[in-house]
Amino acid sequence: TFNGTWKVDRSDNYDKFMEHMGVNVVKRKLAAHDNLKIIIQQDGNKFVVKESSTFRTKDIEFTLGVAFDYSLADGTELNGSWETDGDKLVGKFSRKDNGKVLTTVRDIVGGEMVQSYSYEGVDAKRIFEKE
Ligand code: MYR
């Protein structure tokens, strides 16, 4: 289950990934220490995700398989949806500014939540610990 409070512990290739996404160096430096915390509440197909970081706090509600809008901390707007694949959550989102696709997967591995991101052939991961 993904329910719970997850705090980012470490990231892998996240700076390169953000660079590829077009995030400038100042924001990338800040994002490296964003203290991202994600509270996930799943009830059947419905999710409430409460995101907080040094950038902002944001509540997101979505239903599996139903597209919704989401904006990144730098203002980049996405539209897409999450679905399940076995025990994983797979998200497919398109950027509204250029139509390019960002895919992301959430998986529980050894009690940690691993979120991987992929955009135009560049991959990154952020690993969260349960609070
Ligand atoms: C959620 O479930 O947390 C809300 C929807 C998330 C949509 C996809 C998030 C992609 C984040 C990519 C970060 C890259 C920054 C350049």
pLDDT per residue as tens digits for the range 7-25: 999 999 999 999 999 999 9
The reported pLDDT for the residue numbered 95 is: 98
ipTM, 2 decimals?
0.95
Atom of ligand 1 nearest to the CA of 102: 10
Identify the pLDDT of residue 48: 98
pLDDT at residue number 105: 98
Strands, E assignment, 28-100: 37-43, 46-52, 57-63, 68-71, 77-85, 88-95
Q: What per-residue confidence (pLDDT) applies to 121?
A: 98
Distances (CA, A) of 109 to 78, 103, 112: 27, 19, 5
Whole-prediction pTM: 0.96
Q: Tell me the average confidence (pLDDT) per consecutive run of 10 residues in the chain, 131 residues long.
A: 97 98 97 98 98 98 98 96 97 98 98 98 98 95
Pocket of ligand 1 (CB under 6 A): 18, 21, 23, 49, 51, 60, 70, 72, 91, 93, 102, 104, 117
Q: Which run of H or of E encompasses 100?
A: none
- Please give the distance, rounded to the nearest whole angstrom, from the Cα atom of residue 110 to the centre of ligand 1: 22
Q: Whose structure tokens read 């892998």?
A: 12
pLDDT at 75: 93
pLDDT of residue 8: 98
Tokens in use for 50?
């409460």
